[in-house]
């Protein structure tokens, strides 16, 4: 009786073992394919990061700006303000807009006023515009683009002979907080409708 009860179990176990043997090559093949796909994606990611360059732009598509789409290209290029982009393969994959000031703005109105004042002061003294670079918007269209443009702009400001601070005028959102904190910035102050982060320029 015991043998009769055991036989079906043993047969079932043998069948299962046979199934496992059939499945193992399939699983291994799938793992290999996934590794190849992942490796290819990593190679592609680092290839574009290494091949990208920071360029100054005459204009950008303001409709793509998730932070301040209401600011037109005239605003972004007036009184010494600049638009920078990360370019790769003939396309712009990330954008960051700057104003140069001598004071830290708490809103767009102050940004406009302070950058206008710094521009006039520099014209009178025959100097470069402002001592503080204010990044007031940034967006990316390709994975890794946001981090890359922060890194490239940071390097550019460090090489500058007149800029000694890199500060943001960011919206009051968790996304902005996480983005800048993750990229090494420290929260400087929280305002009524914005927050300022500072990237230390050593």
Question: Per DSSP, what are the bridge partners of residue 170?
Answer: 195
pLDDT above 70 coverage of the chain, percent: 73
Distance CA 140, CA 134 (A): 18
Distance CA 172, CA 157 (A): 25
Q: Which residue has the tokens 């918007």?
A: 137
Residue among 81, 175, 95, 177 nearest 138 (CA): 95
What pLDDT, in 10s, does the model give residues 31-59?
A: 666 555 454 444 444 444 567 788 999 99
According to CATH, the superfamily of the domain at 53-199 is Malonyl-CoA decarboxylase, catalytic domain (3.40.630.150)
Distance CA 118, CA 22 (A): 73
Domain locations in the chain? 1-51, 53-199
Which positions ≥6 away from 153 have C-beta within 8 Å? 54, 84, 96, 98, 133, 135, 166
Residue 80 has which token pair?
């010494």
Distance CA 46, CA 141 (A): 16
Residue 192 has which token pair?
């009524």
Is pLDDT at 1 greater than 90 in this prediction? Answer: no
What pLDDT, in 10s, does the model give residues 139-169?
A: 988 888 888 888 888 888 888 878 889 999 9
- The whole-model pTM stands at 0.73
Which positions ≥6 away from 71 have C-beta within 8 Å? 62, 65, 97, 108, 137
């Amino acid at each position: 009786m015991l043998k009769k009860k055991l036989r079906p179990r043993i047969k079932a176990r043998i069948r299962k073992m046979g199934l496992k043997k059939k499945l193992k090559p399939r699983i291994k093949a799938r793992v290999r394919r996934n590794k190849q796909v992942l490796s290819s994606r990593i190679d592609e990611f680092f290839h574009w990061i290494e091949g990208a360059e920071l360029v100054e732009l005459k204009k950008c598509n303001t409709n793509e700006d998730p932070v301040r789409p209401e600011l037109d290209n005239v605003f972004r290029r007036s009184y010494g303000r600049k638009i920078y982009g990360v370019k790769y393969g003939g396309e712009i994959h990330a954008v960051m807009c700057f104003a140069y000031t001598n004071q830290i703005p708490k809103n767009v109105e102050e940004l406009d006023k302070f950058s206008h004042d710094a521009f006039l002061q520099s014209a009178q003294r025959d100097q470069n515009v402002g001592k503080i670079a204010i990044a007031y918007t940034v967006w990316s269209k390709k994975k890794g683009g946001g981090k890359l443009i922060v890194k490239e702009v940071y390097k550019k400001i460090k090489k500058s002979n007149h800029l000694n601070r890199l500060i943001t005028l960011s919206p009051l959102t968790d996304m902005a907080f996480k983005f800048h904190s993750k990229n090494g910035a420290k929260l400087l102050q929280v305002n009524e409708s914005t927050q300022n982060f500072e990237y230390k320029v050593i």
